[in-house]
């Protein structure tokens, strides 16, 4: 993308004038407010089309599955930020969302792109899905890289959220090439990587969303939207029953200093 002047200054999402607000071709006040739920609106905003009943059900399930998982780093960051600046909800929300990267919550995007990559490789002449998955996993092992979408530090026996979500996708008839790719990776990974690697929620979410028709480029938006709801809950609780400074104090207790003692500066006196 060229930085600076761009040739096509256009947006297809929304416009307004003195009399109306138009969102994706719909009059906001006449067609949408009170007549569409938020999950439908989210899908409409991103894709330009209303979701089917199945797409809505899958998206709802994904949002519920990832909205809350306790005092993870992004939540702790948000709560400590609010404790330090009680008036700055926007800053605390931003702090929590900024903490959603490739390891926690934001990992759905990486897993989705990995699934798409393996699936694309499987369509090369004479390759097939199992061969493509095996080849990819062997490369990850050689480079000592993690397998996106597999494994969980707490749910080592299997992520229950992923299990329920994939079962729902099967029941709804959503499961397709992306879910199948994820399952093949899950079947092969323990033997190649040589440790248990169950499907985690960050693998299940992109697999079912992609099979439902969600764009891969917008995958990170799903956990971001979901965790925003969870952060609101934590910040409301923080405003009523603050634990932000307790979290900070426990960090001081848990982390030992090993920086040594500096030599006195010239001219220092005791």
Domain covering 53-241, topology? Cytochrome p450-Terp; domain 2 (1.10.230)
Domain ranges of the chain: 9-50, 53-241
What do you get for the CA distance between the two ends of the chain, in Å?
61
- The secondary structure of residue 268, as a DSSP letter, is -
- Exposure pattern of 124-163 as b/e (b: 16+ CB <10 Å)? eeeeebeebbbebbeebeeeeeebbbbbbeeeeeebebbe
- Report pTM: 0.89
Q: How far is CA 260 from the centre of its chain?
A: 40
- How confident is the model at residue 26, as a pLDDT? 97
- How confident is the model at residue 1, as a pLDDT? 52
User: pLDDT truncated to tens, each residue of the chain (270 aa)?
Assistant: 567 677 778 899 999 999 999 999 999 999 999 999 999 999 999 999 999 999 999 999 999 999 998 998 999 999 999 999 999 999 999 999 998 877 777 789 999 999 999 999 999 998 999 999 999 999 999 999 999 999 876 666 778 999 999 999 999 999 999 999 999 999 999 999 998 899 999 999 999 999 999 999 999 999 999 999 999 999 999 999 999 999 999 988 989 888 888 888 887 665
Query: What's the CA angle centered on 227, arms 171 and 225, to 5 degrees?
Result: 75
What residues have CB less than 8 Å from 183, skipping those under 6 apart? Answer: 166, 199
């Amino acid at each position: 993308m060229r930085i600076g002047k761009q040739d096509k200054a256009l947006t297809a999402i929304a416009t307004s004038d003195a009399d109306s607000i138009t969102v994706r071709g719909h009059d906001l006040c006449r067609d949408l407010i009170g007549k569409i739920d938020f999950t439908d609106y989210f899908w409409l905003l991103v894709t330009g089309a209303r979701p089917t009943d199945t797409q809505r059900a899958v998206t709802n399930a994904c949002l519920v599955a990832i909205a809350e998982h306790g005092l993870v780093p992004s939540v702790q960051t948000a709560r400590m930020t609010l404790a330090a600046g009680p008036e700055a909800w926007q800053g605390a929300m931003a702090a929590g969302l900024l903490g959603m990267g490739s390891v926690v919550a934001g990992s759905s995007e990486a897993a989705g792109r990995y699934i798409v990559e393996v699936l694309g490789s499987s369509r090369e002449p004479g390759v097939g899905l199992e061969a493509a998955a095996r080849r990819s996993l062997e490369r990850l092992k050689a480079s000592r890289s993690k397998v996106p979408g597999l494994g969980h530090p707490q749910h080592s026996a299997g992520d229950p959220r992923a299990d329920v979500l994939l079962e729902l996708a099967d029941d709804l008839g959503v499961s397709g090439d992306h879910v199948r790719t994820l399952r093949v990776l899950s079947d092969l990974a323990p033997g190649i990587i040589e440790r248990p690697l169950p499907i985690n929620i960050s693998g299940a979410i992109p697999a079912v969303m992609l099979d439902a028709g969600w764009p891969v480029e917008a995958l990170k938006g799903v956990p971001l939207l979901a965790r925003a709801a969870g952060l609101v809950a934590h910040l409301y609780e923080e405003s009523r029953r603050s634990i932000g400074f307790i979290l900070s104090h426990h960090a001081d207790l848990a982390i030992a200093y090993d920086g040594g003692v500096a030599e006195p500066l010239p001219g220092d006196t005791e």
